[in-house]
């Protein structure tokens, strides 16, 4: 039986969710709502679904079995709590929330109500990401010594001026890290394991009228002993594809968006040459490097299918609330270190 999804918040990212729901097996778009009623009606007309005047009205409809929360980052908590109380399963656009305390509230509410909670980190579903994760789990890197993430993107002043919530601590939750680089932070922690220590600096160097950082650099120590770096900015014209590097005593892999640029191991397997040949040229868009709308929705489709599978089989989604919380914790630690000038222990 197909699960009806209701979209909460009809801004730019909601359009990608609508396309993903349409393509996802076992899901269909059953409605939408937004505080701006006209925007909800416009979204509904474009996507051929009902528009609800209020969130309460949508959650009261039995046709809605799950919701997709697409409101601004710092406005995920309240709809998440209301949806959980109404017994609706939830997929939240990244980040889960902008503080770990708020993440914990959503997680607890979903566990109390017995509903599934998934977080939108679609990069984990890319074949290239999964190949690197498989190699990490198989020990192919030997002793992993370094794990680095680089997100050198560009956002114009007009981008920040386009919405009153952009660039604010309350609703954006942060700048280049919390909004743009969080996908790479999630991938890095997924591949490398927990972070134990953070030292960081952040600044706002080129953008005006924003409260948050447009450049950040952090050094990390992971629980496995490895060191790492996170670099994030929205000031690097014209914007480059995001990059993850994993290095160890017996191997190195470099991921650029969906392309594997380096795949070298001391102990080669028959599959390695195929991976080197086939896993380049996989990136079909700009990856959001300069244009936030220049992304595909195929990863989102897999996320919705994963949640549908979890609902139907009563299992945990691959990227549940606890997984979604991990990157927020690291970014919170980076902000704390940058503010205090001290090394933060997680």
Asked whether residue 64 falls in the same domain as residue 186, the answer is no
Q: Which residues contact 301 (CB under 8 A, 6 or more apart)?
A: 19, 20, 23, 24
Q: How many domains does the chain have?
A: 2
* Domain containing residue 77: CATH number: 3.40.50.720
- 275 & 311 share domain: no
Q: Does one domain contain both 102 and 196?
A: no
Hey, what are 79's tokens?
């709809």
Distances (CA, A) of 85 to 62, 110, 115: 14, 8, 9
Q: What is the pLDDT along the chain (346 residues), one digit of tens a residue?
A: 899 999 999 999 999 999 999 999 999 999 999 999 999 999 999 999 999 999 999 999 999 999 999 999 999 999 999 999 999 999 999 999 999 999 999 999 999 999 999 999 999 999 999 999 999 999 999 999 999 999 999 999 999 999 899 999 999 999 999 999 999 999 999 999 999 999 999 999 999 999 999 999 999 999 999 999 999 999 999 999 999 999 999 999 999 999 999 999 999 999 999 999 999 987 776 777 877 666 678 889 999 999 999 999 999 999 999 999 999 999 999 999 999 999 999 9
* 288/301 same-domain check: no
Integer Cα distance of 57 and 28 in angstroms: 19
pLDDT of residue 281: 81
Confidence (pLDDT) at 294: 64
The angle at the Cα of 235, spanning 231 to 237, to the nearest 5 degrees, equals 110
* 249 and 230 within one domain: yes
pTM score, two decimals? 0.95
Same domain, 223 and 208: yes
Which domain does 19 fall in, by range? Answer: 3-122+297-320
Q: What's the rounded Cα separation, in Å, for the pair 272 and 255? A: 15
48 plus 101 within the same structural domain: yes
The pLDDT of residue 291: 72
Domain match, 178 and 151 both: yes
* pLDDT reported for residue 155: 97
Q: Do 89 and 230 fall within a single domain? A: no
For position 179, which CATH number holds? 3.30.360.10
Regarding whether 243 and 337 lie in a shared domain, the answer is yes
Phi, psi for residue 36 in degrees, rounded to 5: -90, 100
Q: Which of 292, 306, 279 is nearest to 176 (CA)?
A: 292
Same-domain pairing of 172 and 237: yes
d(CA 47, CA 29): 8
Based on the domain organization, do 242 and 133 belong to the same domain?
A: yes
């Amino acid at each position: 039986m197909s699960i009806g999804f209701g979209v909460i918040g009809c801004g730019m990212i909601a359009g990608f969710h609508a396309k993903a729901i349409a393509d996802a097996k076992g899901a269909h778009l059953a409605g939408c709502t937004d505080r701006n009623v006209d925007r909800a009606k416009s979204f509904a007309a474009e996507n051929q679904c009902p528009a609800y005047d209020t969130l309460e009205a949508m959650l009261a409809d039995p046709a809605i079995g799950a919701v997709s929360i697409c409101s601004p980052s710092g406005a995920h908590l309240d709809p998440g709590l209301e949806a959980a109380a109404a017994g609706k399963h939830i997929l939240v656009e990244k980040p889960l929330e902008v503080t770990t305390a708020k993440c914990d509230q959503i997680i607890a509410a979903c566990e109390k109500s017995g509903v599934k909670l998934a977080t939108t980190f679609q990069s984990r579903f890319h074949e290239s990401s999964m190949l690197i994760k498989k190699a990490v789990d198989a020990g192919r890197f030997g002793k992993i010594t370094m794990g680095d993430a680089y997100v050198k993107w560009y956002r114009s002043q007009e981008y920040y001026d386009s919405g009153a919530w952009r660039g604010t601590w309350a609703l954006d939750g942060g700048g280049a890290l919390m909004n743009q680089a969080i996908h790479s932070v999630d991938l890095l922690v997924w591949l490398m394991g927990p972070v134990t220590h953070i030292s960081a600096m952040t600044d706002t160097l080129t953008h005006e009228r924003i409260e948050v950082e447009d450049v950040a650099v952090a050094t990390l120590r992971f629980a496995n002993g490895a060191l790492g770096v996170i670099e994030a900015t929205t000031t690097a014209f014209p914007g480059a594809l995001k990059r993850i590097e994993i290095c160890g005593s017996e191997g190195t892999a470099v991921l650029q968006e969906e392309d594997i640029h380096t795949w070298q191991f001391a102990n080669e397997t028959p599959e390695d040459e195929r991976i080197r040949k086939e896993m380049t040229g996989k990136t079909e868009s700009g990856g959001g490097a300069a244009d936030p709308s220049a992304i595909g929705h195929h990863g989102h489709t897999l996320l919705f299918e994963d949640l549908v599978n979890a609902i139907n089989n009563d299992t945990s989604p691959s990227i549940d609330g606890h997984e979604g919380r991990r990157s927020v914790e690291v970014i919170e630690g980076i902000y704390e270190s940058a503010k205090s000038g001290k090394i933060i222990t997680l």
